[in-house]
Amino acid sequence: MKQLIHSTLALLILASGVYAAEGHDHDKVIPGPKGGRIVEVEGGHAEFFVQPDKKVSITFYDKDMKVVPAGEQVVAAIAEAPTGKVKLEFEESGDSLVSTSALPEGDGYRIVLQVKANAQAKPQNLRIEYHTEVCGKCNRAEYACICEGEKDGHGH
Ligand SMILES: [Zn+2]
């Protein structure tokens, strides 16, 4: 019985430790170096950035925000536009992966980014609300706004 209590305690401590570490990571919103939105992927970060031609570029970074080649990673995106779902395919372009076609007209729709570590891996789905209006506080497009983490709770 004593043994059981000990392992339960150990598990609880371990679980709370993991939780705290995760919470800490998520408090900090990393501004995308290209002006895009940073999402967490296996082994680091990826930046979702919509170019002026409305093609999507994805750039991978390591934990220290150094650019890393896409390597074997496979990316696809599904734009859930009001006019219908559009799937975007990506091809290598310099340090990034760039979609072969542009996003559908307009904004205010959801984009599901699918990132796979390699062609055989299970896809990681990342949802991005695509809004292009510029945030008055951080001067970034809403989809890439970095103010979200700053919940200061002030009134008016
Ligand atoms: Zn902002």
Q: How far is the CA of 20 from the centre of ligand 1 (A)?
A: 26
Q: Which of 45-59, 80-94, 138-152 has the lowest mean pLDDT?
A: 138-152
Q: What is the pTM of this model?
A: 0.78
Q: How far is the CA of 76 from the centre of ligand 1 (A)?
A: 26
CA 22 to chain centroid: 15
Q: How far is the CA of 148 from the centre of ligand 1 (A)?
A: 7
Residue 144: C-alpha distances to residues 135, 148, 155 (Å): 9, 10, 24
Q: How far is the CA of 57 from the centre of ligand 1 (A)?
A: 21
Average pLDDT, the chain: 85
- Give me the mean pLDDT over the 136-154 stretch: 79
Q: How far is the CA of 141 from the centre of ligand 1 (A)?
A: 8
At 4, the pLDDT band (50, 70, 90 cuts) reads low
Please give the CATH topology (third level) of the domain spanning 32-144: Immunoglobulin-like (2.60.40)
Angle, alpha carbons 49-51-53 (nearest 5°): 150
Q: How far is the CA of 135 from the centre of ligand 1 (A)?
A: 5
The domain limits of the chain are 32-144
- Residue-level pLDDT at 27: 56
Give the HSE-up count for residue 41: Cα atoms under 13 Å, Cβ half-sphere: 31
Q: How far is the CA of 140 from the centre of ligand 1 (A)?
A: 6
